[in-house]
Amino acid sequence: MGLRWFHFALWGGLIAGMFLLPQVVSNGTLRTMIFANYLAIFAISWDVLSGRTGYVSFGHPFLIGIGAYTTAILTKRFDIPVEISIPVAVVFTMIAGLLVLLPALRIRGSYFALVTLAFMELLYQLVQVIRPDLTGGTRGMSGIQTLTRGAANGYYLSTALMLAIAVSMWLLMKTRLGTALSAIGMNEESVRGSGLSTTRLKAFAFLTSAMIAGLGGAFYVHYLGSLAPRALFDINFLFTIIVAALLGGTSTIIGPMIGAFFMTFLLEYLRPVLPGAERYFVYGAIALLLYMYQPKGIVELVKRGFKNLSKGRTA
Amino acid sequence: MLQILIQGLLLSGLYALIAMGFTLIFSIGRVLNLAYGAYLMVGGYIYFWVSQSLGMPKLIGVAVAAALGVLMGVLKYRLIVKTLKGDHVAVEISTLILAVVIQAGIVLVFGDSSKILLPIVPGVINVAGASVTFNILIATLISWAILLGLYAFVRLTHTGRAMQAVSMDAKGAAISGIDPDRINLITWGISGALGAIGGVFFASYTQLSPSMWVAPLIISVAVVIVGGIGSILGTLVVAHIVGFLEVIVVATLAPELRGVFTMLLIIGVLITRPQGLFGREEL
Amino acid sequence: MSAALQVSGLVKRFGGLVATNDLSFSLNEGESLGLIGPNGAGKTTVFSQIMGELRQNSGTIELFGKEISALSTPQRIRAGVSRTYQIPRPFGDMSVAENIRVGLMPDDIRRMIFSPPDTERERELALSVGFSEEDLDRTPTELAMGDLRKLEMARTMATAPKVMLLDEVFAGLTTGEIAQISDLIQSMRKDGMTFLIVSHDLPALEPLIDRAIAIERGTMIAEGSFSDVMNDKAVQASYLGGA
Ligand SMILES: Nc1ncnc2c1ncn2[C@@H]1O[C@H](COP(=O)(O)OP(=O)(O)O)[C@@H](O)[C@H]1O
Ligand SMILES: [Mg+2]
């Protein structure tokens, strides 16, 4: 499937709509959307790696955390301007991505997922004990420089970042590279048997995923202004990322975006009913059921709906 | 030195108990049950509710926890594992989601704050300058008893041998008249019970909290990975490696680093020897 | 002139089992060689070693005079040898055209990104193995065994091999499909393709090959023209005993 005019029309409509939104909605809703934007970035990052190549990462907070900690430490402890610290954070995250690639050269499936989980736990424990004067130890860090002031500006920045990532990933995944990465997820041996070096392709996927995670993590920490290890290297956080990608629809770009917004707003609307962590009960139950009965996610449901509609019309 | 030895033995016994149920599922069905840590948590909380809130005898508390563990195991096999028909990654993702759901359920019922379990067996004894609570001593003894019992069960009973057969070659076992579905169901049940009982002791060793399931899950994962496909003996050996590593690190380096080497062990072994230290053994 | 493919003293052990036992044969450019033997004789294992999916314990494999044992599978494919699999392994969620696209891709990420897919060549390959225009958009789950084998052929041809290894090409095919694939192989032979073909369907294999070798338990037991090999006592004994 090549590029068509309506693809650009849809993206254009989405971009215009998202940038006009602050004119009509409340600041509270905007704050929720900021979270949805960052979650969408993380879910896209997860999907580039896990949704495509089938190397399921249970350690994405590890990558996000490297990005967030690097820029937080550089700006707060060493007074380095964000123009430098964020790119450095992205580079560090990509190096960390290569670290995660190492086991993926030999193992896949369950074992790979577990190594990445171990990476996350390892970093969680290490930031608390190694140089707490830099990392803030168990308590984390606060008073980190923020990039924007006010909900609307935070929204514009996060939306611009998210859409820039989404559109460039969408363009990238439309090329033969996207086909090759998806092929790895379906049958890695056959990709090698078709003459492609899967190591190089996987390295590319890991680096791209890490780059997005690093960008997202760095901007996110400069939005929050603080960072706490328990909230970052947390299975609930990991779970939110994975579920957003899965529910929306893996191996697509719009899927993780839809999933992120769906999940964020679901959590938000549950807040009055279930104020604490219990919200995850409903949220998780919905996620579990949806995943078990439609593993291809919301995008697939919508596609089928359209198919049935057009079938009904032609019949 | 002696203190490290004693503490290492005790902690390792507890870890062997915790990891056993996880290993069992992995060797029979080749699935990683990431909700296993949640069994432990539910076991601990149910025991707390029955014995401390309701004031029933402790033994009943353990029995109720074990029964609920069986139920959870069986339900999970029926509703999730069978539905997803051998798609391992899907099972793992589903069990991870389930773990989060159970965690949220615990918060809903018991609240967010952590709870202290009274020792199951009160009392302290002094061995060579190390004070050892009866609680962990009993946990270790029970752990050994359960492991021996399980070993005997797998080796000597008809069902146990059928489990061995399924673990080695599910298709072959099916051809020779074993119903793998029934064996799987039994295994998930046993695993649930082991998890719940392990959870009671683990909770009395640390404390009850809605996030307590992660650490024992990681320990179980480490044991399975480092030991290779779960053999009962391999589990025992690796539980001791992990247990002693932790005790030694706490005693000589820093208590905060206790988990770091377990993590490094997992990563190191998976990268260099994906088949585990002991390879693919039978059950 | 060096042979297109020259295998010398190949040995592969799986634990105690010797799956390939001191096997040597050579294949001239443009020649078609049949590899026959009962189930479990080690035919597929030979293919896997030539492709580098399994490493031999000893022996050498030369492609156009160049030793390829140290190369990875993708490198060997670029050097000009490619295989089909006994059990087709398509990309399950991709269309026929996309499956072939993967075979056509250059092993170069920059070109994957910046140059568009050659849909014309995809179509050409699909049609040449007997797919119809409508089949291009179908996914492997909708295809029958015969179609999957055709797809396997097309994806292998897409890698532009000079030597093709075909594993059990006719298994699971109808007579019509066998004729279709046979025609395809014949026309490629005319164009100078070199083949090594494994098949249990000996009547279908016979017209496609210039020569045959027979192996049993990893060891070569006969070599020569198809009829010489079929009349060989050891071959007859192994087929009666093995089948
Ligand atoms: N990866 C492997 N590990 C162990 N044994 C193998 C492996 N692959 C094949 N074998 C054994 O090697 C022998 C040859 O197998 P194969 O090459 O598939 O035979 P064929 O293709 O001639 O039917 C068989 O006995 C088979 O069981
Ligand atoms: Mg074969």
| Tokens describing residue A72 | 């937080």
Domain boundaries, position C196: 5-90+159-238
| Tokens describing residue C236 | 């007859």
| A 7-26 near B (Cβ less than 8 A) | none
For residues B261 and B12, give the distance between their C-alpha atoms in angstroms, rounded to a whole number: 15
Instruction: Tell me the pLDDT tens digit for each residue of A43-93.
Output: 999 999 998 998 989 889 999 999 999 999 999 999 999 899 999 999 999
* Nearest ligand by distance to the CA of C35: 1
The SS3 of residue C117 is: coil
Q: Does the structure's ipTM exceed the value 0.85?
A: yes
Total CB pairs under 8 A between chain A and C = 88
pTM for the model = 0.89
Enclosing H/E stretch for A21: none
Q: What is the mean pLDDT of chain B?
A: 83
Instruction: Say if the Cβ atoms of C92 and A187 lie within 8 Å.
Output: yes
* Nearest ligand by distance to the CA of C36: 1
Q: Is A110 on the interface with C (CB under 8 A)?
A: no
For residues C195 and C28, give the distance between their C-alpha atoms in angstroms, rounded to a whole number: 10
Enclosing H/E stretch for A191: helix A188-193
For residues A291 and B97, give the distance between their C-alpha atoms in angstroms, rounded to a whole number: 10
The SS3 of residue C55 is: coil
Spacing, Cα C173 to ligand 1 middle (Å): 23
CA atoms within 13 A on the CB side of C205: 28
Averaging pLDDT over each range in A177-181, B24-28, C231-235, which range is the top one? A177-181
Where are chain B's structural domains?
17-212
Q: C38 lies in a domain?
A: yes
Rounded to an integer, the average pLDDT of B28-51 is 88
For residues B127 and B141, give the distance between their C-alpha atoms in angstroms, rounded to a whole number: 16
Per-residue pLDDT of chain C (243 residues; tens, 9 = 90+): 578 999 999 999 998 899 999 999 999 999 999 999 998 899 999 999 999 999 999 999 999 999 999 999 999 999 999 999 998 889 988 999 999 999 999 999 999 999 999 999 999 999 988 899 999 999 998 888 888 999 999 999 999 999 999 999 898 888 988 998 899 999 999 999 999 999 989 999 999 999 999 999 999 998 999 888 888 888 888 776 544
For residues B27 and B22, give the distance between their C-alpha atoms in angstroms, rounded to a whole number: 9
Enclosing H/E stretch for A273: none
Give the distance from CA C170 to its chain's centroid. Answer: 12
> Considering only alpha carbons, which residue of chain C is nearest residue A187?
C91
Q: Is B255 on the interface with A (CB under 8 A)?
A: no
The SS3 of residue B174 is: helix
Taking the CA atoms of B114, B119, B120 and B126 in sequence, report the sign of the dihedral they define.
Answer: positive
| Tokens describing residue B128 | 């060579």
Residue among A176, A181, A303 with most chain C CBs within 10 A, to mutate: A176
Instruction: Tell me the pLDDT tens digit for each residue of B201-240.
Output: 888 888 888 888 888 888 888 888 777 665 677 788 888 8
The predicted pLDDT at position C53 comes to 93
Enclosing H/E stretch for C101: helix C96-104
* Distance in Å from the first CA to the final CA of chain C: 39
Lowest mean pLDDT among A170-179, A197-206, B36-45, B231-240: B231-240
Q: What is the DSSP letter of A66?
A: H
Q: C36 lies in a domain?
A: yes
A1, A264, A280, A283, B113 from A271: Cα distances, Å = 41, 11, 10, 11, 19
Res. A2 pLDDT band, cuts 50 70 90: low
Q: Is B233 on the interface with A (CB under 8 A)?
A: no
* Distance in Å from the first CA to the final CA of chain B: 34
Residues of B in contact with A114 (CB under 8 A): 32, 221, 225, 266, 270
For residues A21 and A19, give the distance between their C-alpha atoms in angstroms, rounded to a whole number: 6
Q: Is C131 on the interface with A (CB under 8 A)?
A: no
C159 lines ligand 1 (CB under 6 A): no
Q: Which residues pair with B124 in a beta bridge?
A: B133
Q: Write the CB contacts of A176 (distance below 8 Å, at least 6 apart in sequence).
A: C101, C105, C112, C113, C115, C116, C117
The predicted pLDDT at position C230 comes to 86
Lowest mean pLDDT among A264-273, B81-90, B226-235, C198-207: B226-235
Q: Which residues pair with B165 in a beta bridge?
A: none
Nearest C-alpha neighbor of B140 from the set B153, B127, B154:
B127
C194-198: strand order across its sheet: C81-83, C163-167, C194-198, C32-36, C211-216, C219-224
Q: Is C141 on the interface with A (CB under 8 A)?
A: no
CATH number at C34 reads 3.40.50.300
Other residues' Cβ atoms within 10 Å of the Cβ of residue C204: 19
Residues whose beta carbons lie less than 5 angstroms from ion ligand 2: C 44, 86
Q: What angle do CA B107, B143, B137 make, to 5 degrees?
A: 90
Q: C143 lies in a domain?
A: no
Q: What is the DSSP string of C59-76?
A: EEEEETTEE-TTS-HHHH
Res. B274 pLDDT band, cuts 50 70 90: low
Q: How many domains does chain C have?
A: 1
Q: Write the CB contacts of C233 (distance below 8 Å, at least 6 apart in sequence).
A: none
Instruction: Say if the Cβ atoms of A111 and B270 lie within 8 Å.
Output: yes
Q: Which residues pair with B126 in a beta bridge?
A: B131
**Environment class of residue C28 by beta-carbon count within 10 Å: exposed (0-12), middle (13-18) or buried (19+)?**
middle
Enclosing H/E stretch for C236: helix C233-242
The predicted pLDDT at position B272 comes to 79
Radius of gyration, CA atoms only, chain C: 18
Nearest C-alpha neighbor of C42 from the set C24, C25, C19, C22:
C19
Instruction: Tell me the pLDDT tens digit for each residue of A110-133.
Output: 778 888 888 898 898 888 888 888
Residues of C in contact with A196 (CB under 8 A): 74, 102, 105, 107
For residues A116 and A104, give the distance between their C-alpha atoms in angstroms, rounded to a whole number: 10
